[in-house]
Amino acid sequence: MAYEIEPATDENSAAPQPGRGVTHVEVTVDDAGTRLDNFLVRQLQDVPRTHVFRLLRKGEVRVNKKRARPDQRVALGDVVRIPPVRKAEDVPPPATPRAASESLQKLVLDSITYEDGDLIVCNKPPGLAVHGGSATDFGLIEALRSARPGQPDLELVHRLDRDTSGCLLVAKRRAALRDLHRQLREGQTEKHYLALVCGKWNLGTKRIELALDTDERRSGERHVAVRAHGKKSVSTFKPVQFFGNLATLLEVEIDTGKTHQIRVHAAHAGHPVAGDVKYGNRIFNDIFKDYGLKRMFLHSSSLGFTRPGTREPMLASAPLPPELGAVLDTLTRGRARAPQDERGRTLKPGGARGPVVAPRVQRPASMAQTGKPRMGNSRNDKRGAAKGPGPVRGEGRRKARTTAGR
């Protein structure tokens, strides 16, 4: 590994902080294909992880003299510029060592469905982030490391959204991580999800290929959008079960693994995922609550790959959580119907332009409620007047002729 420390007078770097100057690290065969954030964590083992991720967010890390994204994968021969950082001993320690709680560690350990010398398969619980960040200090990987202090090389193979449950792979060795990452990059894996979407899916088996921009921010929050300059993403949707015109259970296979990919593709097709607060439909989500749905209905059901270091095929799977199965049972027993506006028109759950909000139609109050004649269509008024008490037909004309004669 080429490793060089630049002098503190480097005009292209910030003023060095105590402990370490600007460094340039050349990527070797062992690190080729690794995500940049994981690469930095390994290089800066004596630096707090929070500080490493802060350097990435601020764009202070360069790859081949260019700004780089945290999820960018480094290649053999790339030169990574690491700005001045502080060693762990230079940072005042907290009053009490921070670690994942025992309850969180137990939750993660109980989610393990398979384990061997190379990897761990977890059935990730919903509501648990896969790693810590600005919103939470500890995710699944931090809790697993706390529970397994003797396994320092535990790393996430891929990621799932916080509200998504299901199959998640964790590598126990760096060689296994590189092998699995290569399979993901080269499309040698099969990732299947189960998703309940709003409305009746009439598109059959549908392959959706769109470019997604994952860097868009709205009110400081990441929001993925379909953009021509985005990265290619491919999802194939296949209907499994229909629940009237209210919902459809789909099996989704993804060829790529972009952030929020299934959720954005489903919403773009006009059928957002049930319970999705960010890309979904508020009116439909409120109805699904009556059927017992308390979170987004998206579950990673299986992941097929080749066992690291061998050519043996392997299929990791995770059963559907009981609470989601109960929602399907309730939908089957009930008369699932899509919401309607006050004119009786069926609402559509969404489309390419985003979620559809039900129009607010104010029905005029009747005469029985207000004591006043109902204002509305003149045609309806005439029809209503004919039914109520009033002069006999033609009586008004006869009365007018009689008055004129006088």
182 and 193 part of one domain:
no
- What CATH number does residue 284 fall under? 3.30.2350.10
Which pLDDT belongs to residue 223? 81
Residue 245's nearest CA partner among 291, 198, 283, 286 is 198
Same domain, 138 and 169: yes
| One domain, residues 181 and 250 | no
Nearest C-alpha neighbor of 202 from the set 358, 353, 348, 356 = 348
List CB contacts of 33: < 8 A, sequence separation 6 or more.
Answer: 73, 74, 75, 178, 181, 182, 185
Query: What is the four-CA torsion angle of 53, 54, 60, 64, rounded to 10 degrees?
Result: 10
For residue 15, give every residue at least 6 positions away whose Cβ sits within 8 Å of its Cβ, in sequence order, or none.
Answer: 8, 84
E-only strand ranges, 50-97: 62-63, 66-67, 79-82
111 part of a folded domain: yes
Taking the C-alpha atoms of 31, 36, 37 and 40 in order, what is their torsion angle to the nearest 10 degrees? Answer: 60
Locate tokens 């294909």: which residue? 33
Other CB atoms within 10 A of residue 241 CB = 13
Domain count, the chain: 3
Quick one: pLDDT at residue 5? 34
CA–CA separation, 72 and 78 (whole Å): 12
Are 109 and 62 members of one domain? Answer: no
Tokens 């989601």 map to which residue? 324
pLDDT of residue 54: 79
pLDDT of residue 92: 53
The CA distance from 399 to 394, in Å, is 9
Neighbours of 96 (CB within 10 A): 6
The reply to whether 61 falls in a domain is yes
Residues 292 and 223 grouped into a single domain: yes
Whether residue 60 lies inside any domain: the answer is yes
Outline where DSSP puts E strands in 182-229.
190-198, 206-213, 217-218, 221-222, 225-226
Rounded distance between C-alpha atoms, residue 202 and residue 194, angstroms: 17
pLDDT of residue 207: 96
Q: What DSSP element (H or E) covers 179? A: helix 174-185
112 is a domain residue = yes
Question: What's residue 218's pLDDT?
Answer: 66
Q: Between 140-147 and 102-110, two packed helices, what is the crossing angle to 10 degrees?
A: 100
Residues 202 and 227 occupy one common structural domain: yes
Q: Is residue 229 part of a domain?
A: yes
Q: Where are the beta strands (DSSP E) in 10-70?
A: 23-26, 62-63, 66-67
Residues with catalytic roles: 161
Of 355, 378, 401, at which residue does a domain stop? 355
Number of neighbouring beta carbons within 10 Å of residue 46: 13
Domain span at residue 43 reads: 3-86
- Partnered with residue 133 across adjacent β-strands are none
Verify that 312 and 277 share a domain, yes or no: yes
User: Does one domain contain both 296 and 211?
Assistant: yes
- pLDDT by 10s per residue, the chain, length 406: 433 333 333 434 333 343 457 888 888 887 887 888 888 888 887 777 777 877 887 888 889 988 888 878 888 889 998 888 765 445 455 445 578 899 999 999 999 999 999 999 999 999 999 988 756 778 999 999 999 999 988 999 999 999 999 999 999 999 999 999 999 988 899 999 999 999 999 999 999 999 998 766 666 677 888 888 888 999 999 999 999 999 999 999 999 888 899 999 999 999 999 999 999 999 999 999 999 999 999 999 999 999 997 889 999 999 999 999 999 999 998 777 888 877 888 888 874 334 444 433 333 344 344 444 444 444 444 444 444 444 444 545 444 444 444 4
Sign of CA dihedral 250, 167, 293, 258: negative
